[in-house]
Amino acid sequence: MTHESDQKIIDRLEELLDTERSALLQGDLEKIAGLVEEKESLIDALNVLDAGPRQKLEALQKKVMRNQALLDGALQGIRTVAARMAAFRRIRRSLETYDESGQKQIIQGEIERKVEKRA
């Protein structure tokens, strides 16, 4: 590869990482998913570069680490929401409580489904 094409790969990956960061901050998961394939191919192209241009990659490494931290946070948020929604579903089916003697009681939830016709 020539130095010029090496720099184009680096520049494109830098742009892509900035786009990914923006999508992460906005919570645009679809956009992030769409960037994965191009990101992987650019990283594969970087892996075959000579040792010379690799010194210019420190800024890219920092951006990759920053985006990884954002991705980790987004995943943790998704897991938290999923756990919270599961708890709400459990509560809708039944509610666990304790009586005055400290014994656990389960109150079954009832979902009343009724269709009312009006003329």
- What residues contact 43, with CB distance under 8 A and at least 6 apart? 13
pLDDT band, residue 7 (cuts 50/70/90): confident
For residue 104, being part of any structural domain is answered with yes
Instruction: Give the pLDDT of residue 9.
Output: 87
Task: Please give the mean pLDDT across all residues of the chain.
Answer: 85
Strands 94-98 and 104-108: antiparallel
**Span of 17-21, 39-43, 74-78, 87-91 with lowest mean pLDDT:** 87-91
Euclidean distance between CA atoms 73 and 92, whole angstroms: 29
More confident residue, 65 or 58: 65
For residue 113, being part of any structural domain is answered with no
Instruction: Give the pLDDT of residue 53.
Output: 59
**pTM value?**
0.67
**Of 20, 34, 69, 55, the residue nearest 46 (C-alpha):** 55
Question: Quick one: average pLDDT of 6-30?
Answer: 91
Single-letter amino acid code for the residue at 92: R
Euclidean distance between CA atoms 58 and 53, whole angstroms: 10
Range of the domain at 38: 3-108
Domain count, the chain: 1
Euclidean distance between CA atoms 79 and 60, whole angstroms: 28
